[in-house]
Structure 1
Amino acid sequence: MCRLIFIAVFTVISIFCQAQTRVQFRVDMSKPVEIGLFEPLSGDHIIIRGSFNNWQGDDYILYDKGSDYIFSGDFSIEEDPGASVEYKFVILKAAGKNLWEKYPDPDNPPNGNRVFILDTGYQELGPVKYHFDKYYLALAGKEVIFSVEEMQQDFNQMRQTLENEHCCLYEYTSKEIFDSLFQHQYELITAPLHPHEFYNILSPITAKIGCMHTAVWMPGGFWDMQPDNLFPLRVKLIEDYVVVAGSYIDTIQVPAGSIILEINGKPVHEIIGEMRKNISADALNIHFVNSQIEKRFPMIYARRYGFPEKYRLTYALPGQKTRTTIELSPANIQSVRADVFKNFNHPPLKLEILEQKNTAIMKIPSFIFYDRVDYFKHFLDSSFTLIREKEIGNLLLDLRGNDGGDPFCAVPLLAYLEHEPVPYFAEPYGRYAEFANPVHLAKNHFTGNLYTLLDGYCGSTNGHFAALLKYHKIGKIIGTPTGATYKCNAG
């Protein structure tokens, strides 16, 4: 009986100790209203999301009570006095799109959230101005342009970050050359520029590092500017030709195999040459650079040239010299991304047994199974058990298109293929430190003939894996040179 009483008393105490503080939030929305980004009469709302509501939900709505575009709302925050509370204002468009504030507090990295300390009594915050992402201007039909000052600040921040944080900045390009390149590119900032024009100033710098993991990427807002206006054709680089390999839309506008000659009047060989200046690759590996142009052509084109009013294509049909010019219907960003980033969606792992040919074909399109390592290991275990049971003597390992992923997936595969225990990494490396020790042979490790298919897409973790196969003479390698080296120059 005493135990029950104690629990009841403790529960009551806990309830009364839970603090609630009433806080008034106020935000000045005059600028978003002026530019047409925020339209309350059309059903737009301004809400708050923060640590107090798990950064989600639409319940914390603010209202313009004085018709002066100062939106306010009083809410109970269930935190203890002295607690640090973080939040941001979010425009909830009538169509459902969420426009979060862009880094409103630069002194609060990494996300620039607004922050205040909860008091014991009623608190009034603001009014503060809503900080919008400059790319939001495109949603209001405005031109997105960066000022000289903004670009200079970003440029200096990038230079400082690279010089202070990158482990191997001068591995492939000397400091003297880099200093000259930094100065030359900085001096190109002489007038306001569009996002893609600024990208063309920054990306040649990261491309010179020789590190595929260090590159300039466009933010999500850039792709929201014209999400339905991307180059619609898949391409392959074959010798000195850019060949149509398919389409990102259902309509067949140009026959596969056609040779592209010009895009919007610009010779395609000039376009490819300029694209190569923007792409990062380990050890400046041209095979990886070319593979990325093939894989990401619509996105690289947009980063390099922006979103044109039209795509006017001049091409020659397969086996013919006659030039044909047409205007293409564009693709949307969703269809392009679905293909470009398909390896992030756990592509199927496949094993095919050809008993009459005493051969097994194993297709591993990606090592990006960070959240499904056990699933990946189970595939390997079951596959090599079956190969052992059927006494298969030949294994064709297809790693084409595999651009890397989790070493915790690649290491178990090595354990099935190595002739004797060898280290995966040459020295301890973070949470992968154990892989600097010899990797033990797997129970049903393969002892037959191994043939590994590789191509220029192979990089990152797959690059490490391929380097180990070659260095330790594990089987035969077939295909084109990979996009990797024996050393990953990752910053």
Structure 2
Amino acid sequence: MLYAKIPIQWDRLLIALSLLLSTCNASGQITQQVDFRRPLETSQLREDFQRFRSALTENHPDLYRHRSQELVDHMLDSCQTSIVGPMDLIAFGNLVRFAVGAIECGHTSGSLPGELMEQYAALVPMFPLKLWFTGDRAFVLCSKEADAPVGSEILSIDSEPIKRIRQKLFHYLPSDGKIQTKKNATLNNDAFLFLYSFIYGEKTHFKIKLTMPDGQHREVTLKATHFENTQCPAYQTADNAKPLEINFTDSTSALLTIRTFSKDRISNAGQDFPVFLQTAFEQIGQRKTQHLLIDLRGNGGGDDVYGAMLYSYLTSKPFRYFSTLQSKSKPVMTPEDHPGLAVQQPANISFGGKVYMLIDGRTFSTAADFCAIARSNARGIFIGEETGGGYEGNNSGGTVRVDLPHSGIRVAVPTVRYSNAVTPGTEPGRGIIPDYPVSPSIWEILAKKDVQLQKALEIALHD
């Protein structure tokens, strides 16, 4: 379905790894372990990279959306000419990941298949601490090491400052344009453990400088461990919660939580998006709610039409949602190709009160599109962090997936260029910037204090 965006997010794959399920693929159980250090021949690497590049040039709707053709082509040429000898699977994967990151498209990906990532997690010891990155700093979120307790700040690893490590790893993560919050959220969802191992190589020990919770500086040496030993019971996500919820916080305020716009995920949870919205806004109207908080944190996107449908309840006038859509096969699309190009009509119930949007780096794809329309029409106050998806639009839609023949690396390439019907942004290549930037501290995360929601409620109370 063209208008069902499927966000290709490496962090979601890594979250799934925590389950450490049986390793299998579509053809059955995998019984042979992969030697990640086995070198691939130069000719094989060159063929795989050319196949990767062809998948981009033949299918991607706008490789040069955020960077010039000269820069992107030069980058791809440089990566290709750097293949001068054998490389192992991890090194070649790093090359592909670097190229994907340099394109600056959050819906393009190139990574090891899930079953191989599971094998890597089970076989290769990694950094032993789960970290929480905020800005240029990193803190211990989960630890089984007495010498590096929870709440400690990591200053350096093997003499390299954590700020420089973070900046280096960011080059290997995809994101729309110049958005950094999406990359930071990816690191916080276990990507750091894998990516650090991929880029810096396998290690048996780590020399760490840190500041203890009591303020004392220490230097410790920790032994590498397997991924399963780094799991963090102190940090729980809302994966078991319903995708759609409406709660009335007081007599004048309501909290509408939309965890996904994916029709499949919503229906698998026994919910129906159109029915839910209709019922929720009927209740909002009956209670004479004045302040509506919409929580889109962690919403990775889904069906385009659901984003437009949600906005239809916040306006009493017809509106535009997408201005243009185009692909390699169809440079100019019409409302017959995608309903989001038509003039959208307001819902039969219109909420006219104050709206407050909770956003973060995982607010991506369709969720970011919805936020862009709301921001462009001045229909809400935004609290939290810059969205992971772009204000002007993105490249997504139907996805072409290619398995590179020799390395087995899986490449996903979007095929549709989306342009949101928004007023010109002041910072091209950025997401929706919050009116009230709020990021939780490590202690607020550990104490499970939702400071972003608290801030939104505080603003609504005095608005």
- With the length of structure 1 as denominator, give the TM-score of the two structures: 0.64
**In the alignment, what sits opposite 2:281?**
384
Q: 2:138 aligns with which of 242, 247, 262?
A: 242
Q: Is 1:453 equivalent to 2:358 in the alignment?
A: yes
Counterpart pick for 1:424 among 306, 310, 321:
321
> What is aligned with 1:317?
212
Instruction: Give the direction of change, closer, same or farther, for the CA distance of 1:404–1:101 in structure 2 (3 Å limit).
Output: closer
1:468 to 373, 381, 384: 373
SS of equivalent residue, structure 1 residue 372: helix
Q: What is the SS of the residue equivalent to 1:477?
A: strand
Q: Report deviation, 1:272.
A: 0.9
Task: Name the counterpart of 1:223.
Answer: 117
Q: Deviations over 1:129-170 (max 9, x none)?
A: xxx99x9443xx784332212111111111122122211112
2:62 is matched with: 168
Change in 2 beyond 3 A, CA 1:393/1:97? closer
Offset of residue 230 of structure 1: 4.7
The reply to whether residue 487 of structure 1 matches residue 384 of structure 2 is no
* Residues 227, 332 of structure 1: 8 Å contact kept: yes
Aligned counterpart, 1:71 = none
Q: How does 1:137-216 map to 2 (within 5 A)?
A: 137-138=33-34, 143-216=37-110
Q: Equivalent residue for 1:435? A: 340
Q: Would you say the 8 A contact 1:199–1:304 is kept in 2?
A: no
| Higher alpha-carbon deviation: 307-316 or 285-294 | 307-316
Amino acid at match of 1:235: L
Question: What is the distance in 2 between the residues matched to 1:212 and 1:352?
Answer: 32
Distance across 1 between alignment mates of 2:272 and 2:197: 37
How many residues matched? 362
Quote the offset at 1:99 in angstroms. Answer: 7.2
Q: How does 1:16-31 map to 2 (within 5 A)?
A: none
Q: Give the Cα–Cα distance (whole angstroms) in 2 for the partners of residues 421 and 340 of structure 1.
A: 42
Give the alignment of 1:6-405 within 5 angstroms.
136-138=32-34, 143-228=37-122, 229-231=125-127, 233-244=129-140, 246-247=141-142, 254-295=148-189, 296-305=191-200, 307-310=202-205, 313-318=208-213, 320-327=215-222, 330=225, 332=227, 347-356=242-251, 358-370=252-264, 372=266, 375-405=272-302
In structure 2, how many angstroms separate the alpha carbons of the residues matched to 1:332 and 1:431? 48
Percent identity between matched residues is 23
Query: In 2, distance between residues paired with 1:350 and 1:211?
Result: 31
- Any idea what SS the aligned residue of 2:121 has? coil
* SS of 2:50 mapped into structure 1: helix
Q: Deviations over 1:381-414 (max 9, x none)?
A: 2222211111111111121222222223322211
Give the gaps of 5 or more residues in structure 1.
1-94, 103-131
> What CA distance in whole angstroms lies between the structure 1 residues aligned with 2:395 and 2:215?
44
Paired residues of 1:211 and 1:284 also in contact (CA < 8 A): no
State the SS of the aligned residue for 1:417: coil
The aligned amino acid for 1:380 is: L
Contact 1:298–1:336 under 8 Å retained in 2:
no
Distance in 2 between residues matched to 1:389 and 1:473, nearest whole Å: 25
Shift of the alpha carbon at 1:435?
Answer: 1.7
- After superposing the two structures, state which structure 1 stretch, 460-469 or 328-337, moved more: 328-337
Q: Which moved more, 1:460-469 or 1:182-191?
A: 182-191
Residue in 1 aligned with 2:5?
none
Whether the 8 Å contact between 2:203 and 2:224 is mirrored in structure 1 is no
Closer, same or farther: CA 489–449 of 1 in aligned 2, 3 Å: same
Is the CA contact (8 Å cut-off) linking 1:137 and 1:144 kept in structure 2? Answer: no
Q: Conserved in 2, the CA contact under 8 Å of 1:362 and 1:396?
A: yes
1:179–1:148 CA distance, 2 compared to 1 (3 A): same
Q: Does the aligned pair in 1 maintain the 2:136–2:166 contact within 8 Å?
A: no
- Relative distance call for 1:334 and 1:362 in structure 2 (3 A) is farther
Q: How far did 1:333 drift?
A: 6.2
Q: Could you say if the C-alpha distance between residues 441 and 253 of structure 1 is closer, same or farther in structure 2, counting changes exceeding 3 Å? A: farther
Q: CA deviation at 1:234?
A: 3.9
The 1:390/1:280 distance shift into structure 2, 3 A limit, reads same
Amino acid at match of 1:242: A
Q: Is the 8 A contact 1:344 1:368 kept in 2?
A: no
CA distance in 1, matches of 2:229, 2:59: 34
State the Cα RMSD in Å. Answer: 3.6
Q: Counterpart of 1:28?
A: none
SS in 1 for 2:378: coil
SS of residue paired to 1:453: strand
Name the CA distance, whole Å, in 1 between partners of 2:336 and 2:196.
37
**Which piece of structure 1 moves more, 448-457 or 308-317?**
308-317
Equivalent position of 1:406 in the other structure: 303
Gaps in structure 2 of 5+ consecutive residues: 1-20, 326-332, 397-413, 415-463
Once residues 324 and 453 of structure 1 are traced to their aligned partners in structure 2, the CA distance between those partners, rounded to angstroms, is 39
Q: Contact conserved, 2:298 with 2:360, CA < 8 A, in 1?
A: yes
The 1-side partners of 2:229 and 2:283 are apart by 39
Q: Kindly state the Cα deviation for residue 236 of structure 1 after the two structures are TM-superposed.
A: 3.1
Distance in 2 between residues matched to 1:340 and 1:408, nearest whole Å: 33
